[in-house]
Structure 1
Amino acid sequence: MKTILQKALIPFVLILFFSCKEDNKNEEKKIVIKSSVSENLNISILVDLSDRISLKKNPNPTMEFYQRDLGYIKSVSEAFAKHLKSKRIRQIDDKMQLFFNPEPENPEINSIANELKIKVDKNNASKNLLNSISGNYALKTAKLYDSAIKDDNYIGSDIWNFFDNKAQDQCIDKGYRNILVILTDGYMFYEGTQIKNGTLSNYLTPQLIKQNGLNTNEWQKKFKSENFGFIRIDNDLSNLEVLILGINPAKNNPYEEKVIKAYWNKWLTEMNIKHFQVKNTDLPSNMDKIINDFILEKE
Protein backbone atom coordinates (compact mmCIF):
# COMPACT_ATOMS: atom_id res chain seq x y z
CA MET A 1 0.00 0.00 0.00
CA LYS A 2 2.86 2.33 0.91
CA THR A 3 4.59 1.64 -2.44
CA ILE A 4 1.40 2.33 -4.40
CA LEU A 5 0.94 5.62 -2.49
CA GLN A 6 4.55 6.66 -3.21
CA LYS A 7 4.14 5.93 -6.92
CA ALA A 8 0.93 7.94 -6.98
CA LEU A 9 2.66 10.92 -5.39
CA ILE A 10 5.62 11.00 -7.84
CA PRO A 11 3.81 12.91 -10.65
CA PHE A 12 2.62 15.56 -8.17
CA VAL A 13 6.13 16.00 -6.77
CA LEU A 14 7.57 16.38 -10.28
CA ILE A 15 4.91 18.94 -11.22
CA LEU A 16 5.66 20.89 -8.04
CA PHE A 17 9.43 20.72 -8.69
CA PHE A 18 9.25 21.98 -12.26
CA SER A 19 6.68 24.60 -11.31
CA CYS A 20 9.03 25.97 -8.66
CA LYS A 21 11.93 25.85 -11.12
CA GLU A 22 9.91 27.82 -13.67
CA ASP A 23 8.97 30.37 -10.99
CA ASN A 24 12.66 30.79 -10.18
CA LYS A 25 13.44 31.41 -13.86
CA ASN A 26 10.71 34.03 -14.07
CA GLU A 27 11.97 35.65 -10.89
CA GLU A 28 15.50 35.78 -12.34
CA LYS A 29 14.14 37.53 -15.45
CA LYS A 30 12.35 40.06 -13.28
CA ILE A 31 15.52 40.75 -11.31
CA VAL A 32 17.50 41.32 -14.53
CA ILE A 33 14.89 43.73 -15.85
CA LYS A 34 14.77 45.67 -12.58
CA SER A 35 18.56 45.92 -12.55
CA SER A 36 18.55 47.31 -16.11
CA VAL A 37 15.82 49.86 -15.33
CA SER A 38 17.50 51.12 -12.17
CA GLU A 39 20.79 52.02 -13.89
CA ASN A 40 21.64 55.71 -13.91
CA LEU A 41 22.03 57.39 -17.31
CA ASN A 42 24.53 60.13 -18.05
CA ILE A 43 23.75 61.27 -21.60
CA SER A 44 25.89 63.85 -23.39
CA ILE A 45 25.09 65.34 -26.79
CA LEU A 46 27.95 66.82 -28.82
CA VAL A 47 26.69 69.08 -31.60
CA ASP A 48 28.75 69.89 -34.68
CA LEU A 49 27.83 73.52 -35.37
CA SER A 50 29.92 73.75 -38.54
CA ASP A 51 28.63 74.95 -41.91
CA ARG A 52 27.02 71.52 -42.43
CA ILE A 53 23.85 73.15 -40.98
CA SER A 54 24.13 76.23 -43.21
CA LEU A 55 20.97 76.81 -45.27
CA LYS A 56 23.05 78.60 -47.91
CA LYS A 57 25.91 76.13 -48.32
CA ASN A 58 24.11 72.85 -47.67
CA PRO A 59 20.39 73.23 -48.43
CA ASN A 60 18.33 70.07 -48.42
CA PRO A 61 14.87 70.13 -50.04
CA THR A 62 13.64 67.01 -48.20
CA MET A 63 14.50 68.28 -44.72
CA GLU A 64 17.19 70.74 -43.68
CA PHE A 65 20.06 69.22 -41.72
CA TYR A 66 19.44 71.39 -38.66
CA GLN A 67 15.84 70.11 -38.59
CA ARG A 68 17.14 66.54 -38.65
CA ASP A 69 19.41 67.36 -35.72
CA LEU A 70 16.43 68.74 -33.80
CA GLY A 71 14.50 65.54 -34.50
CA TYR A 72 17.39 63.37 -33.28
CA ILE A 73 17.74 65.43 -30.10
CA LYS A 74 13.99 65.15 -29.50
CA SER A 75 14.25 61.35 -29.74
CA VAL A 76 17.19 61.34 -27.30
CA SER A 77 15.30 63.50 -24.77
CA GLU A 78 12.17 61.34 -25.12
CA ALA A 79 14.21 58.18 -24.50
CA PHE A 80 15.75 59.86 -21.44
CA ALA A 81 12.30 60.80 -20.09
CA LYS A 82 10.99 57.30 -20.80
CA HIS A 83 13.89 55.84 -18.82
CA LEU A 84 13.16 58.14 -15.86
CA LYS A 85 9.48 57.19 -15.84
CA SER A 86 10.41 53.50 -15.69
CA LYS A 87 12.23 53.99 -12.37
CA ARG A 88 11.02 54.41 -8.82
CA ILE A 89 11.45 57.96 -7.52
CA ARG A 90 14.10 56.92 -4.99
CA GLN A 91 16.16 55.31 -7.78
CA ILE A 92 16.29 58.37 -10.03
CA ASP A 93 19.72 59.96 -10.38
CA ASP A 94 20.22 60.73 -14.07
CA LYS A 95 21.78 63.49 -16.18
CA MET A 96 21.63 64.91 -19.68
CA GLN A 97 23.76 67.70 -21.16
CA LEU A 98 24.71 69.31 -24.44
CA PHE A 99 28.19 70.39 -25.63
CA PHE A 100 29.96 72.20 -28.44
CA ASN A 101 33.67 72.23 -29.13
CA PRO A 102 34.84 74.91 -29.40
CA GLU A 103 32.23 76.97 -27.64
CA PRO A 104 30.55 79.46 -29.99
CA GLU A 105 31.37 83.13 -29.45
CA ASN A 106 27.66 83.95 -29.42
CA PRO A 107 26.71 84.34 -25.70
CA GLU A 108 23.06 83.50 -26.43
CA ILE A 109 24.00 80.06 -27.77
CA ASN A 110 26.17 79.34 -24.73
CA SER A 111 23.43 80.50 -22.38
CA ILE A 112 20.92 78.12 -23.96
CA ALA A 113 23.46 75.28 -23.80
CA ASN A 114 23.84 75.82 -20.05
CA GLU A 115 20.06 75.53 -19.65
CA LEU A 116 20.24 72.16 -21.41
CA LYS A 117 22.38 70.64 -18.64
CA ILE A 118 19.83 68.89 -16.46
CA LYS A 119 20.10 66.58 -13.47
CA VAL A 120 17.09 64.68 -12.17
CA ASP A 121 17.20 62.93 -8.81
CA LYS A 122 14.84 61.92 -6.01
CA ASN A 123 14.89 65.48 -4.64
CA ASN A 124 13.52 67.22 -7.73
CA ALA A 125 11.80 64.41 -9.65
CA SER A 126 8.10 65.08 -10.16
CA LYS A 127 5.47 64.09 -12.70
CA ASN A 128 5.44 67.63 -14.12
CA LEU A 129 9.23 67.69 -14.53
CA LEU A 130 9.37 64.29 -16.23
CA ASN A 131 6.54 65.25 -18.59
CA SER A 132 8.20 68.57 -19.48
CA ILE A 133 11.76 67.37 -20.24
CA SER A 134 11.26 66.50 -23.91
CA GLY A 135 9.19 69.61 -24.70
CA ASN A 136 11.65 71.95 -22.98
CA TYR A 137 14.60 70.33 -24.71
CA ALA A 138 12.91 70.65 -28.11
CA LEU A 139 12.04 74.32 -27.53
CA LYS A 140 15.52 75.31 -26.31
CA THR A 141 17.46 73.39 -28.95
CA ALA A 142 15.29 74.98 -31.66
CA LYS A 143 16.25 78.42 -30.29
CA LEU A 144 19.89 77.35 -30.21
CA TYR A 145 20.00 76.27 -33.86
CA ASP A 146 17.99 79.32 -34.92
CA SER A 147 20.53 81.56 -33.22
CA ALA A 148 23.50 79.70 -34.79
CA ILE A 149 22.02 79.93 -38.30
CA LYS A 150 21.18 83.64 -37.92
CA ASP A 151 24.67 84.27 -36.57
CA ASP A 152 26.05 82.68 -39.78
CA ASN A 153 29.53 82.32 -38.26
CA TYR A 154 30.41 78.65 -38.53
CA ILE A 155 33.77 78.13 -36.82
CA GLY A 156 33.89 74.38 -37.38
CA SER A 157 33.86 71.54 -34.89
CA ASP A 158 36.94 70.20 -33.13
CA ILE A 159 35.66 66.71 -32.31
CA TRP A 160 39.15 65.18 -32.14
CA ASN A 161 40.21 67.69 -29.47
CA PHE A 162 36.99 67.03 -27.54
CA PHE A 163 37.88 63.34 -27.27
CA ASP A 164 41.49 64.17 -26.46
CA ASN A 165 40.87 66.71 -23.69
CA LYS A 166 37.25 66.72 -22.55
CA ALA A 167 35.37 63.44 -23.08
CA GLN A 168 36.85 61.65 -20.08
CA ASP A 169 36.23 64.53 -17.64
CA GLN A 170 32.91 65.80 -18.95
CA CYS A 171 31.11 62.70 -20.27
CA ILE A 172 32.13 59.91 -17.88
CA ASP A 173 30.95 59.59 -14.28
CA LYS A 174 31.32 56.63 -11.94
CA GLY A 175 28.13 54.76 -11.18
CA TYR A 176 26.51 55.82 -14.46
CA ARG A 177 25.93 54.34 -17.87
CA ASN A 178 27.70 57.01 -19.92
CA ILE A 179 26.39 57.69 -23.44
CA LEU A 180 27.73 60.26 -25.89
CA VAL A 181 25.54 61.13 -28.90
CA ILE A 182 27.41 63.01 -31.64
CA LEU A 183 25.56 64.93 -34.35
CA THR A 184 27.96 65.33 -37.27
CA ASP A 185 28.31 64.69 -41.00
CA GLY A 186 31.31 62.48 -40.23
CA TYR A 187 33.98 64.90 -41.39
CA MET A 188 36.28 66.63 -38.91
CA PHE A 189 37.87 70.02 -39.48
CA TYR A 190 38.84 72.89 -37.24
CA GLU A 191 41.05 75.70 -38.51
CA GLY A 192 42.97 76.02 -35.26
CA THR A 193 44.18 72.44 -34.81
CA GLN A 194 45.18 70.60 -37.95
CA ILE A 195 47.72 67.90 -37.17
CA LYS A 196 49.15 65.31 -39.52
CA ASN A 197 51.45 62.44 -38.56
CA GLY A 198 52.38 60.41 -41.61
CA THR A 199 49.16 58.86 -42.91
CA LEU A 200 47.30 59.74 -39.70
CA SER A 201 45.52 63.05 -39.08
CA ASN A 202 43.21 64.69 -36.56
CA TYR A 203 40.93 65.91 -39.34
CA LEU A 204 39.03 64.42 -42.25
CA THR A 205 37.70 66.21 -45.32
CA PRO A 206 36.58 65.11 -48.81
CA GLN A 207 39.80 66.67 -50.13
CA LEU A 208 41.95 64.61 -47.75
CA ILE A 209 40.17 61.38 -48.74
CA LYS A 210 40.87 62.13 -52.39
CA GLN A 211 44.45 63.19 -51.63
CA ASN A 212 45.03 59.90 -49.78
CA GLY A 213 43.82 57.95 -52.81
CA LEU A 214 40.88 56.43 -50.92
CA ASN A 215 38.42 57.07 -53.75
CA THR A 216 38.85 53.81 -55.71
CA ASN A 217 37.62 50.25 -55.21
CA GLU A 218 41.05 49.48 -53.71
CA TRP A 219 40.43 51.91 -50.83
CA GLN A 220 40.09 49.25 -48.12
CA LYS A 221 43.36 47.52 -49.03
CA LYS A 222 45.15 50.87 -49.14
CA PHE A 223 43.53 52.02 -45.86
CA LYS A 224 44.85 48.97 -44.00
CA SER A 225 48.26 48.57 -45.66
CA GLU A 226 49.22 52.24 -45.31
CA ASN A 227 47.62 52.66 -41.86
CA PHE A 228 45.29 55.57 -42.61
CA GLY A 229 43.04 56.90 -39.87
CA PHE A 230 42.67 59.49 -37.14
CA ILE A 231 45.63 60.13 -34.85
CA ARG A 232 45.26 57.78 -31.92
CA ILE A 233 44.28 59.24 -28.55
CA ASP A 234 45.78 57.53 -25.51
CA ASN A 235 42.60 57.66 -23.43
CA ASP A 236 40.78 54.59 -22.15
CA LEU A 237 37.13 55.41 -22.79
CA SER A 238 35.85 51.89 -22.11
CA ASN A 239 33.15 53.35 -19.81
CA LEU A 240 31.70 55.41 -22.66
CA GLU A 241 29.20 54.38 -25.33
CA VAL A 242 29.00 56.41 -28.52
CA LEU A 243 26.16 56.91 -31.01
CA ILE A 244 27.06 58.96 -34.10
CA LEU A 245 24.18 60.33 -36.17
CA GLY A 246 24.12 62.27 -39.43
CA ILE A 247 26.95 60.83 -41.56
CA ASN A 248 26.59 62.63 -44.89
CA PRO A 249 29.29 61.65 -47.42
CA ALA A 250 30.13 63.77 -50.44
CA LYS A 251 28.43 62.47 -53.57
CA ASN A 252 31.42 62.50 -55.95
CA ASN A 253 33.08 59.41 -54.41
CA PRO A 254 31.03 56.16 -54.25
CA TYR A 255 33.34 54.87 -51.47
CA GLU A 256 33.19 58.03 -49.32
CA GLU A 257 30.69 56.64 -46.80
CA LYS A 258 32.71 53.47 -46.22
CA VAL A 259 35.93 55.45 -45.81
CA ILE A 260 34.36 57.83 -43.27
CA LYS A 261 32.99 54.90 -41.25
CA ALA A 262 36.35 53.10 -41.43
CA TYR A 263 38.06 56.15 -39.89
CA TRP A 264 35.50 56.35 -37.07
CA ASN A 265 35.31 52.60 -36.39
CA LYS A 266 39.08 52.29 -36.13
CA TRP A 267 39.41 55.35 -33.90
CA LEU A 268 36.61 54.45 -31.48
CA THR A 269 37.93 50.89 -31.18
CA GLU A 270 41.41 52.21 -30.35
CA MET A 271 39.90 54.16 -27.44
CA ASN A 272 38.41 50.88 -26.08
CA ILE A 273 34.84 52.03 -26.77
CA LYS A 274 33.02 48.70 -26.99
CA HIS A 275 29.47 49.80 -27.72
CA PHE A 276 29.14 52.26 -30.60
CA GLN A 277 27.16 52.81 -33.79
CA VAL A 278 27.83 55.11 -36.75
CA LYS A 279 24.66 56.00 -38.67
CA ASN A 280 23.97 57.96 -41.87
CA THR A 281 21.76 61.01 -41.96
CA ASP A 282 18.09 60.13 -42.31
CA LEU A 283 14.68 61.53 -41.49
CA PRO A 284 14.11 61.70 -37.71
CA SER A 285 11.12 59.36 -37.98
CA ASN A 286 13.43 56.67 -39.38
CA MET A 287 16.09 57.26 -36.72
CA ASP A 288 13.76 57.26 -33.72
CA LYS A 289 13.85 53.47 -33.20
CA ILE A 290 17.63 53.34 -33.61
CA ILE A 291 18.08 56.03 -30.95
CA ASN A 292 15.59 54.39 -28.57
CA ASP A 293 17.13 50.96 -28.98
CA PHE A 294 20.64 52.27 -28.34
CA ILE A 295 19.66 54.15 -25.16
CA LEU A 296 16.97 51.89 -23.71
CA GLU A 297 17.90 48.41 -24.96
CA LYS A 298 21.64 48.07 -24.52
CA GLU A 299 22.95 44.80 -25.94
Structure 2
Amino acid sequence: MEYYLRDVEYIKSVSEAFYSHLQRKKVRQMNDKMQVFFDPEPRNQNINKISENLRFNVSRNNASLELLDLIKESYATEPQKIYELAIKDNKYVGSDTWRFVKTKVKDFCIEDNYRNILVILTDGYIYHKDNHIEQNNQTTYLTPQDIRKFKLNSNKWDERMSSENYGFIPAVDNLEKLEILVLGINPDKKNDFEEDVIRRYWSDWFNNMKVGRYEIKTASLPSNMDKIIKDFIKNQ
Protein backbone atom coordinates (compact mmCIF):
# COMPACT_ATOMS: atom_id res chain seq x y z
CA MET A 1 0.00 0.00 0.00
CA GLU A 2 1.37 3.42 -0.96
CA TYR A 3 2.42 5.33 2.13
CA TYR A 4 0.45 8.43 1.19
CA LEU A 5 -2.69 6.29 1.07
CA ARG A 6 -1.92 5.11 4.59
CA ASP A 7 -1.70 8.73 5.66
CA VAL A 8 -5.05 9.42 4.03
CA GLU A 9 -6.63 6.60 6.02
CA TYR A 10 -4.97 7.73 9.24
CA ILE A 11 -6.47 11.19 8.71
CA LYS A 12 -9.85 9.57 8.10
CA SER A 13 -9.58 7.71 11.42
CA VAL A 14 -8.77 10.97 13.22
CA SER A 15 -11.80 12.64 11.67
CA GLU A 16 -14.04 9.73 12.61
CA ALA A 17 -12.87 10.03 16.22
CA PHE A 18 -13.70 13.75 16.10
CA TYR A 19 -17.12 12.94 14.59
CA SER A 20 -17.84 10.37 17.33
CA HIS A 21 -16.75 12.85 19.99
CA LEU A 22 -19.22 15.41 18.68
CA GLN A 23 -22.02 12.87 18.48
CA ARG A 24 -21.65 12.16 22.20
CA LYS A 25 -21.88 15.82 23.21
CA LYS A 26 -24.95 17.87 23.88
CA VAL A 27 -25.33 20.79 21.48
CA ARG A 28 -25.00 23.40 24.22
CA GLN A 29 -21.59 21.92 25.15
CA MET A 30 -20.13 21.99 21.64
CA ASN A 31 -17.08 24.15 21.09
CA ASP A 32 -14.67 22.00 19.09
CA LYS A 33 -12.17 22.60 16.30
CA MET A 34 -10.32 20.52 13.72
CA GLN A 35 -8.01 21.51 10.88
CA VAL A 36 -4.96 20.52 8.83
CA PHE A 37 -1.58 22.28 8.86
CA PHE A 38 1.37 22.20 6.46
CA ASP A 39 4.87 23.48 7.00
CA PRO A 40 6.03 24.98 4.76
CA GLU A 41 2.71 26.14 3.39
CA PRO A 42 2.14 24.79 -0.14
CA ARG A 43 2.61 27.20 -3.02
CA ASN A 44 -0.07 25.32 -4.91
CA GLN A 45 -3.22 27.36 -4.39
CA ASN A 46 -5.42 24.36 -5.08
CA ILE A 47 -3.92 22.60 -2.06
CA ASN A 48 -4.46 25.68 0.08
CA LYS A 49 -8.07 25.89 -1.03
CA ILE A 50 -8.71 22.25 -0.17
CA SER A 51 -7.05 22.65 3.22
CA GLU A 52 -9.39 25.55 3.95
CA ASN A 53 -12.28 23.13 3.36
CA LEU A 54 -10.85 20.98 6.17
CA ARG A 55 -11.05 23.73 8.78
CA PHE A 56 -14.06 23.29 11.06
CA ASN A 57 -15.22 25.07 14.20
CA VAL A 58 -18.31 23.44 15.68
CA SER A 59 -20.18 25.41 18.34
CA ARG A 60 -23.64 25.56 19.84
CA ASN A 61 -24.40 28.28 17.28
CA ASN A 62 -23.76 26.21 14.16
CA ALA A 63 -23.98 22.57 15.25
CA SER A 64 -26.21 20.42 13.05
CA LEU A 65 -26.35 16.93 11.61
CA GLU A 66 -25.59 18.46 8.21
CA LEU A 67 -22.37 20.03 9.52
CA LEU A 68 -21.26 16.78 11.16
CA ASP A 69 -21.91 14.90 7.93
CA LEU A 70 -19.95 17.54 5.99
CA ILE A 71 -16.96 17.06 8.31
CA LYS A 72 -17.09 13.31 7.85
CA GLU A 73 -17.44 13.56 4.06
CA SER A 74 -14.73 16.22 3.67
CA TYR A 75 -12.12 14.26 5.61
CA ALA A 76 -13.02 11.08 3.74
CA THR A 77 -12.33 12.62 0.32
CA GLU A 78 -10.27 15.84 0.44
CA PRO A 79 -6.96 14.65 1.97
CA GLN A 80 -6.29 12.27 -0.91
CA LYS A 81 -6.73 15.16 -3.35
CA ILE A 82 -4.07 17.10 -1.45
CA TYR A 83 -1.57 14.24 -1.66
CA GLU A 84 -2.26 13.68 -5.35
CA LEU A 85 -1.74 17.37 -6.11
CA ALA A 86 1.51 17.38 -4.14
CA ILE A 87 2.76 14.29 -5.99
CA LYS A 88 1.83 15.86 -9.32
CA ASP A 89 3.58 19.09 -8.34
CA ASN A 90 6.80 17.08 -7.79
CA LYS A 91 8.61 19.85 -5.92
CA TYR A 92 9.59 18.21 -2.67
CA VAL A 93 11.56 20.49 -0.37
CA GLY A 94 10.90 18.60 2.85
CA SER A 95 8.59 19.09 5.78
CA ASP A 96 9.77 21.55 8.41
CA THR A 97 8.26 19.88 11.46
CA TRP A 98 10.85 21.41 13.78
CA ARG A 99 10.10 24.96 12.60
CA PHE A 100 6.35 24.38 12.91
CA VAL A 101 6.79 23.42 16.55
CA LYS A 102 9.14 26.34 17.10
CA THR A 103 7.04 29.11 15.59
CA LYS A 104 3.44 27.90 15.28
CA VAL A 105 2.45 25.11 17.61
CA LYS A 106 1.56 27.36 20.57
CA ASP A 107 -0.46 29.76 18.41
CA PHE A 108 -2.17 27.16 16.24
CA CYS A 109 -2.57 24.11 18.45
CA ILE A 110 -2.94 25.23 22.05
CA GLU A 111 -5.88 27.10 23.52
CA ASP A 112 -6.94 27.51 27.12
CA ASN A 113 -9.98 25.51 28.26
CA TYR A 114 -9.53 23.02 25.43
CA ARG A 115 -8.11 19.56 25.16
CA ASN A 116 -5.38 20.16 22.57
CA ILE A 117 -4.36 17.25 20.33
CA LEU A 118 -1.79 17.43 17.53
CA VAL A 119 -1.43 14.48 15.16
CA ILE A 120 1.86 14.46 13.23
CA LEU A 121 2.17 12.38 10.05
CA THR A 122 5.83 11.57 9.44
CA ASP A 123 8.18 8.77 8.48
CA GLY A 124 10.16 9.72 11.56
CA TYR A 125 12.82 11.72 9.79
CA ILE A 126 12.85 15.52 9.76
CA TYR A 127 14.27 17.36 6.79
CA HIS A 128 13.78 20.71 5.11
CA LYS A 129 16.18 22.21 2.62
CA ASP A 130 16.34 25.54 4.48
CA ASN A 131 16.62 24.27 8.05
CA HIS A 132 19.97 22.76 9.03
CA ILE A 133 20.69 24.15 12.50
CA GLU A 134 23.30 22.41 14.63
CA GLN A 135 24.13 23.00 18.30
CA ASN A 136 26.90 20.68 19.37
CA ASN A 137 25.42 17.27 18.56
CA GLN A 138 21.81 18.41 18.55
CA THR A 139 20.07 19.32 15.30
CA THR A 140 16.80 20.46 13.75
CA TYR A 141 16.94 17.58 11.26
CA LEU A 142 17.47 13.84 11.02
CA THR A 143 17.87 11.59 7.98
CA PRO A 144 19.13 8.01 7.53
CA GLN A 145 22.41 9.51 6.33
CA ASP A 146 22.71 11.51 9.55
CA ILE A 147 22.13 8.44 11.70
CA ARG A 148 24.99 6.69 9.92
CA LYS A 149 27.19 9.81 10.12
CA PHE A 150 26.52 10.09 13.86
CA LYS A 151 27.47 6.40 14.23
CA LEU A 152 24.11 5.49 15.73
CA ASN A 153 23.80 2.36 13.61
CA SER A 154 25.36 -0.15 16.02
CA ASN A 155 24.28 -1.79 19.26
CA LYS A 156 26.14 1.02 21.06
CA TRP A 157 23.69 3.63 19.75
CA ASP A 158 21.98 4.21 23.12
CA GLU A 159 25.24 4.72 24.96
CA ARG A 160 26.52 7.04 22.23
CA MET A 161 23.34 9.14 22.17
CA SER A 162 23.52 9.64 25.92
CA SER A 163 27.23 10.32 26.21
CA GLU A 164 27.45 12.57 23.14
CA ASN A 165 24.06 14.27 23.67
CA TYR A 166 22.62 13.51 20.23
CA GLY A 167 19.02 14.56 19.62
CA PHE A 168 16.72 17.27 18.32
CA ILE A 169 17.22 20.80 19.59
CA PRO A 170 14.27 21.65 21.88
CA ALA A 171 12.11 24.04 19.85
CA VAL A 172 9.99 25.51 22.66
CA ASP A 173 9.19 24.85 26.29
CA ASN A 174 6.13 24.27 28.44
CA LEU A 175 3.93 22.16 26.14
CA GLU A 176 2.12 20.59 29.09
CA LYS A 177 -1.26 21.48 27.57
CA LEU A 178 -0.54 19.63 24.33
CA GLU A 179 -1.01 15.95 23.46
CA ILE A 180 0.86 14.63 20.42
CA LEU A 181 0.25 11.46 18.42
CA VAL A 182 3.02 10.65 15.91
CA LEU A 183 1.96 8.31 13.12
CA GLY A 184 3.84 6.61 10.30
CA ILE A 185 7.37 5.97 11.59
CA ASN A 186 9.09 4.11 8.74
CA PRO A 187 12.75 3.38 9.58
CA ASP A 188 15.42 2.59 7.01
CA LYS A 189 15.69 -1.21 6.94
CA LYS A 190 19.46 -1.08 6.41
CA ASN A 191 19.98 -0.38 10.12
CA ASP A 192 18.60 -2.81 12.70
CA PHE A 193 18.59 -0.03 15.31
CA GLU A 194 17.05 2.70 13.15
CA GLU A 195 13.59 2.56 14.70
CA ASP A 196 15.00 2.66 18.24
CA VAL A 197 17.11 5.70 17.37
CA ILE A 198 14.17 7.53 15.77
CA ARG A 199 11.93 6.82 18.76
CA ARG A 200 14.61 8.06 21.14
CA TYR A 201 15.03 11.29 19.15
CA TRP A 202 11.30 12.02 19.25
CA SER A 203 10.69 10.96 22.84
CA ASP A 204 13.68 12.97 24.15
CA TRP A 205 12.47 15.96 22.14
CA PHE A 206 8.96 15.78 23.56
CA ASN A 207 10.21 15.22 27.09
CA ASN A 208 12.58 18.19 26.85
CA MET A 209 9.69 20.36 25.66
CA LYS A 210 7.48 19.01 28.47
CA VAL A 211 4.75 17.70 26.14
CA GLY A 212 1.79 16.70 28.30
CA ARG A 213 1.18 13.31 26.68
CA TYR A 214 2.45 11.60 23.56
CA GLU A 215 2.60 8.32 21.66
CA ILE A 216 4.87 7.41 18.74
CA LYS A 217 3.58 4.75 16.33
CA THR A 218 5.32 2.86 13.54
CA ALA A 219 3.61 2.75 10.14
CA SER A 220 1.11 -0.07 9.84
CA LEU A 221 -1.95 -0.91 7.81
CA PRO A 222 -4.79 1.54 8.47
CA SER A 223 -7.01 -1.30 9.64
CA ASN A 224 -4.50 -1.98 12.42
CA MET A 225 -4.00 1.68 13.29
CA ASP A 226 -7.67 2.70 13.38
CA LYS A 227 -8.31 1.55 16.96
CA ILE A 228 -4.96 2.94 18.19
CA ILE A 229 -5.75 6.37 16.75
CA LYS A 230 -9.29 6.45 18.09
CA ASP A 231 -8.25 5.20 21.53
CA PHE A 232 -5.63 7.95 21.82
CA ILE A 233 -8.18 10.63 20.99
CA LYS A 234 -10.89 9.09 23.13
CA ASN A 235 -8.78 8.49 26.22
CA GLN A 236 -7.27 11.19 28.41
Task: Give the TM-score band, short-chain normalised.
Answer: over 0.9
1:42 is aligned to none
**What code does the residue aligned with 2:75 have?**
Y
Distance 1:283 1:234 in 2: 33
Structure-2 residue corresponding to 1:104: 42
CA distance in 2, matches of 1:145, 1:271: 30
Q: Using the alignment, how far apart are the partners of 2:235 and 2:68 within structure 1?
A: 20
Q: Measure, in 1, the Cα distance between the counterparts of 2:189 and 2:9.
A: 24
C-alpha RMSD of the superposition? 0.9
- Give the C-alpha shift of residue 233 in structure 1: 2.3
For residues 262-288 of structure 1, what are the alpha-carbon distances to aligned partners after superposition, in whole Å with 9 as ceiling and x for unaligned? 000000011111310000001111000
2:13 and 2:39 mapped to 1: Cα distance? 22
- Opposite residue 186 of structure 1, the aligned amino acid is G
**2:97 matched to which residue of 1?**
159
**Residue matched to 1:246:** 184
Query: Per-residue displacement from partner, 1:195-252 (whole Å, max 9, x unpaired)?
Result: 1111111000001100111000011011111111001223211110000000000010
1:268 aligns with 2:206: yes
**Secondary structure, aligned partner of 2:127:** coil
Alignment of 1:131-170 (within 5 A): 131-170=69-108
Name the structure 2 match of 1:193.
131
Q: Deviations over 1:50-100 (max 9, x none)?
A: xxxxxxxxxxxxx00110001000000000000000000100110001000
- The CA deviation at 1:291 is 0.5
List structure 1 segments (4+ residues) > 2 angstroms apart after TM superposition.
none
Structure 2 unaligned residues grouped into runs of 5+: none
Give the match for residue 157 of structure 2: 219
Measure the CA separation in 2 of the matches of 1:190 and 1:223.
Answer: 23
User: Do the aligned partners of 1:164 and 1:235 also contact (CA within 8 Å) in 2?
Assistant: no
Counterparts of 1:40-55 in structure 2, within 5 Å, are none
Residue 221 of structure 2 aligns with an amino acid whose one-letter code is L
Identity of aligned pairs, percent? 51
Counterpart CA distance in 1 for 2:35 and 2:212 is 22
Q: Is the 8 A contact 2:56 2:71 kept in 1?
A: no
One-letter amino acid of the counterpart of residue 228, structure 1: Y
Alignment partner of 2:35: what SS?
strand
Greater Cα offset, 175-184 or 133-142: 133-142
SS in 2 for 1:72: helix
- TM-score, normalization by structure 2: 0.98
1:208 and 1:218 map into 2 onto residues whose CA distance is 16
CA apart distance, 1:104: 1.2
Aligned residues: 236
Distance, in Å, in 2 between the alignment partners of 1:245 and 1:193 is: 22
Name the CA distance, whole Å, in 2 between partners of 1:75 and 1:141.
12
Secondary structure, aligned partner of 1:99: coil
2:101–2:172 Cα contact (<8 Å) kept: no
Moved more, 211-220 or 140-149: 140-149
Q: What's the CA shift string for 1:109-148, capped at 9, x where partnerless?
A: 1111111111011111111222332221121112111111
Query: What is the 5 A alignment of 1:1-299?
Result: 63-298=1-236
